Amino acid sequence: MIPPAGSPRPRVSTGGPDSEASPAGLIETLSRRLLSGHSATAILEAWCVERGLSGPAIVAERVDGADRALDEDRQRLFQLAPGETLRYRRVRLSCGPHTLSEADNWYVPARLTREMNRLLDATQLPFGRVVHPLAPTRRNLDLRLLWSEGTLGPDDALFAIEALLSTPDGIPFCEVHETYLGAVLDGR
């Protein structure tokens, strides 16, 4: 779970001196940025530039498959009005040839504009870029460290974040589950 505001962030033990350049140091740096930011897309774009990963443009490649249900407790967070539904979208977020993360999004189409829904259905734009005009806030629900010391490949899961996106006036419109992969540490 996410520690309460003001408490120290969990540190990843590397078994040796902690260095920003070590995998554990990079994981801590990126997860801290993601937890404190309003847009994972914007943070990943800046990370790609900083790490020299091809360029800043993040592409969201749809992953076909069965829809995943969101558990009932989490569904209640949306306070759906009669006739409102949740839609599911699974994507892989890439920067050039690097697949940085996989994301499961559950969102309320009725709380987005018609154009936003069209862009989500018909393009490879990341959710964060599409909904940016709503000026969303991001409330972190969970952080799980998945990688432990050892071999680290580009497809290995490093950590996962679950977050709720809301409008500035507090109306939730999306829950996202993001799993960040080893390729996000490539670069410099």
- pLDDT greater at residue 147 or residue 160: 160
Distances (CA, A) of 127 to 30, 87, 116, 137: 19, 13, 9, 13
Residue 6 has pLDDT above 70, yes or no: no
Query: What is the model's pLDDT at position 9?
Result: 37
Domains of the chain plus CATH, in order, are: 23-185 (3.40.1410.10)
The string of pLDDT tens digits covering residues 69-112 is 898 999 999 999 999 999 999 999 999 899 999 999 999 999 99
23-58 residue pLDDT tens = 889 999 999 999 999 999 999 999 999 998 877 689
Q: Are 39 and 138 in contact (CB under 8 A)?
A: yes
Task: Name the phi and psi angles at 11, rounded to 5.
Answer: -105, 145
Q: Would you call 80 helix, strand, or coil by DSSP? A: coil
Is residue 161 within 8 Å of residue 139, measured between CB atoms? no
pLDDT digits (tens, 9 = 90+) for 126-141: 999 999 999 999 999 9
Q: pLDDT category, 8, cuts 50, 70, 90? A: very low
* DSSP three-state, residue 9: coil
pLDDT at 56: 67
Over 60: is that where the pLDDT of 3 sits?
A: no
Q: How confident is the model at residue 152 (pLDDT cuts 50, 70, 90)?
A: confident
Q: Given this model, what pLDDT does residue 188 score?
A: 55
Confidence of residue 165 (pLDDT cuts 50, 70, 90): very high
Residue 23: its pLDDT value, please?
A: 87
CB 176 within 8 A of CB 127: yes
Q: What is the pLDDT of residue 173?
A: 98
